Structure 1
C-alpha cells in the first residue's frame, strides 16, 4: 500500500504529503472547498471523481473534523476507505464526544446540555465557574464563553445556542497538557511524551516537550488515548488535550488528526507526528520515538513572515497562507540540551510570544 488521500487542503495535509515523499509514499490532498485534488505537495489542482478516488486510494484520512454535508468529500469521509469515519461521527459534536468519554469512564469536566434559558443559571449554581461551548464548529477560542459566578450571563447568546451547546464546569487547572499518539491498521500503538501547552485567548501559542514532572501521568494519558482510538476504530495520529487538576488528568478536547501541539516533533524527535500518521496508514512499522531533548514550539500567529526569524535559534515552518489576525501562519521549533538553554533561546522569539511566556517556562523549570 503506497497511496493515501487526505481530505482537506490545509497545511496539515501538506506536511503529511511531505512526510510521505521521504519514504516514497504518495500522499495526495482533496480540497473540499474547491472540489479539486492537490497531488503530493503540488499547488496545481486537478479534477477527480469518486470512482477514480476509490480506484486510486486504498486509504483515506483527514486533516480536520468537519466537511461539507454533500459532495465528494462527504462521500469519501463516510466511505469504508476512511480510517477516521468513526471519529467523524462522534468527535465534531461535543455532546457526542463527552457522552463517549463518560461511557468509557475517562475523566472529563462535569457537564450538562444548554437546552433552555434557565440551564445557564442552573449550571452556574451547580458548578460555579462554567464554560459554554457550541456543540460543533468552535475552535481556537471561537464558539466558547467563559463565565465565573457573578458574571453577566447576557454575553452568552442563550436563545441562539439552545439545543446547540453544552455547559462545562470551569476546571481550575494547574497547567494544560496534551498527548499525541498513533494507531496503525493492525491496532498497534505508539505515543509521544506529554506536552505542556500555553493558550492565550483560546489559541495555542507555545508548547514545551517533554512536559516536566509527568512520569506518573504518562501511562494514564496513553491508556486514555488508546481507549478512545480503539472505541472509534481509528487509525493514524490522534491527540487529546488535558487539564491537570490536583495531579490528575481531565480530558478537555480530542482531535482525530495530527495536532498543533505535536508540531514540536518535526525537530524534537526522530520521527514527526506526520511521519507516524502516514506510516500507520501505509503499512510502515511504527518506529520507536526518540526525543532529541527539551523542545519548544512557537506558533506564529497573524503576522507576516519576517526574514529576521531565520537568524533566531530554531527552525521555521511557514505555511504560505494569507495573513489575518489570529490565523496560524507558521511555527518555529527550538531544541536544546536543557530547559535552561531552551529558555534562553526562546527570548529571541519574545516579539511573537505574548507577555507571560517566561512565567510558563519558569513553572516548567520549577522556579
Structure 2
C-alpha cells in the first residue's frame, strides 16, 4: 500500500512558495499552490490551481486535498483565510494576517508589546492630511494602509509643498481603507528579525539581519548584523513578544529601524521573508524548512549560523553573465524562473563563508563580475568592519 505524504496548501505562487516546495520535498512533504496567475513560478515545482481568492468552489476542492494551509504573501484576503480555516487548519492564523494587512493595526500591535514606532496619523481626507503634516512634520511618508509592499503605495513628502502631489498620487485610495502618514526616520540601519514559532509554542530566531533597500525593494542583506549585543537581544525579545501576542505559528519577519541607539518597529511580514533567504545556505535550518515544520506541527530545526552570509537580491532581470558568478567560490545562485519585468524579484545569490575576510573579498568579486558594485557599496563599511583582524 502506498504511503500518503502530507500536503501543504500555499495561497500565492511566487518565489516564496517555490522555495517552500523545495524545502518541503526532502521532508517527504508535498505542496499544492493556488494563485490567480497561470505563470506563477511556484507552479514549475508544485501543482498549481489557477483561481481567484473569491472562487469558493475551487477553494473548496483545494481545502479538501491539503492538510494545512499557509500563504506566501500577505495580500491574501483575511476573509478567504478565515473561510478556509472552517475546513482545514490555517497557519499563520487569519488574525495575524489581518493585523499585518493594516499598517495602523500593525503599529498599534507594536506599541502594545512595548515596541515604539515612528510617529504616525490616520488619514482619510485632504484636511486630515494637512493636519497630520502640521503635527508630524516633514520629511514624512504617506502610505496606503493596505496592499503596500516593495515601495508600492507610498509617497515621500520632502517639504510642505509636496502635500498636493501626495494627495494626487494616493488620495483616491483614501477610501474605503484610508492612508497613514508616517514620520521619516533618519535611521542608522535597517534590521530584521527572522523568527519561527511552532504549534506547541516553541520559539526560535535566526541571527539578526541587516538590510539595505533601493527604491523601496530589498537589495542586499547581511547576517549576522553588526549591532550591540544588548540591542540584538532586545530585537529578539520583541519578536518573541509579538509571536506570543498573536499565538503565531510559522515563520515571520519583524522589520526594525535602529535610530539613536533605539529600536523602532517598521513592519511585520506574516510569512517567510526576502531578508531570510540567506538562511538556505547560511543557517543550520532554513526559514523555509522551519516554516514547513512549524505549520505541520513537527519539531523545529536549529536556527544557528553556519557561516556569515551576504545575499544579493536580483531585481528587474538576472544579471549576466551567470557563469562568472558560478565560477566564484561559496556563491549559491537562485533563479526563480520568472520573466524579466521592472521592479520584479527574479532571483538572488548568497555568499556564505566562515572567514569574514574571504566573505568580503568574495562579495566584492561577485559584485564586480556582475557589474553590481553600486549595490554592494552601502554595505561595504559593515563588511569591512566584520573583516577587521581581531587582536
- TM-score normalised by L of structure 1: 0.90
**CA separation in 1, counterparts of 2:163 and 2:48?**
49
**CA separation in 2, counterparts of 1:216 and 1:210?**
14
The farther-off stretch of 26-35 and 224-233 is 26-35
Matches within 5 A, 1:68-79: 75-76=83-84
In the alignment, what sits opposite 2:91?
A: 83
Instruction: Say whether residues 1:216 and 2:233 are aligned partners.
Output: no
**CA separation in 1, counterparts of 2:25 and 2:291?**
13
**CA separation in 2, counterparts of 1:324 and 1:40?**
19
**CA separation in 2, counterparts of 1:285 and 1:65?**
25
The farther-off stretch of 12-21 and 304-313 is 304-313
Give the deviation of 1:102 after TM superposition: 2.6
Kept in 2: contact 1:236–1:280 (CA 8 A): yes
Deviations 1:151-190 (A, max 9, x none): 5322202532435210111111001000100011111110
Kept in 1: contact 2:32–2:47 (CA 8 A): no
SS of aligned partner of 2:199: coil
Change beyond 3 A, Cα 1:90–1:354: farther
SS of aligned partner of 2:211: strand
Kept in 2: contact 1:117–1:162 (CA 8 A): no
In the alignment, what sits opposite 2:196?
A: 182
Matches within 5 A, 1:186-201: 186-201=200-215
In the alignment, what sits opposite 1:8?
A: 12
**CA separation in 2, counterparts of 1:172 and 1:246?**
9
Give the deviation of 1:89 after TM superposition: 1.7
**CA separation in 2, counterparts of 1:10 and 1:293?**
27
Change beyond 3 A, Cα 1:46–1:170: closer
**CA separation in 2, counterparts of 1:234 and 1:11?**
23
Kept in 1: contact 2:31–2:47 (CA 8 A): no
Instruction: Say whether residues 1:349 and 2:367 are aligned partners.
Output: yes
Matches within 5 A, 1:71-150: 75-76=83-84, 81-84=89-92, 85-128=94-137, 129-150=139-160
Give the deviation of 1:202 after TM superposition: 0.5
Change beyond 3 A, Cα 1:225–1:40: farther
Kept in 2: contact 1:95–1:166 (CA 8 A): yes
Higher helix share: 2
Change beyond 3 A, Cα 1:44–1:26: closer
In the alignment, what sits opposite 1:162?
A: 174
Deviations 1:52-101 (A, max 9, x none): 4444323211111113688x777326766212211122111112212222
**CA separation in 2, counterparts of 1:165 and 1:44?**
34
Gaps of at least 5 residues in structure 2 are 52-56
Deviations 1:118-174 (A, max 9, x none): 333333333332111111111111111122345532220253243521011111100
**CA separation in 2, counterparts of 1:78 and 1:149?**
49
The farther-off stretch of 88-97 and 170-179 is 88-97
Change beyond 3 A, Cα 1:192–1:214: farther
Kept in 2: contact 1:176–1:197 (CA 8 A): yes
Change beyond 3 A, Cα 1:192–1:69: closer
Kept in 2: contact 1:114–1:161 (CA 8 A): no
**CA separation in 1, counterparts of 2:13 and 2:343?**
19
Instruction: Say whether residues 1:317 and 2:329 are aligned partners.
Output: no
Gaps of at least 5 residues in structure 1 are none
Kept in 1: contact 2:78–2:97 (CA 8 A): no
Give the deviation of 1:304 after TM superposition: 3.9
SS of aligned partner of 1:122: helix
**CA separation in 1, counterparts of 2:167 and 2:77?**
25
Change beyond 3 A, Cα 1:161–1:265: same
Give the deviation of 1:198 after TM superposition: 0.3
- TM-score normalised by L of structure 2: 0.85
Change beyond 3 A, Cα 1:69–1:107: closer
**CA separation in 1, counterparts of 2:44 and 2:30?**
7
- Paired residues in the alignment total 365
In the alignment, what sits opposite 2:271?
A: 257
Give the deviation of 1:192 after TM superposition: 0.4
Backbone CA RMSD of aligned residues: 2.8
In the alignment, what sits opposite 1:17?
A: 21
In the alignment, what sits opposite 1:291?
A: 305
SS of aligned partner of 1:119: helix
Change beyond 3 A, Cα 1:240–1:39: same
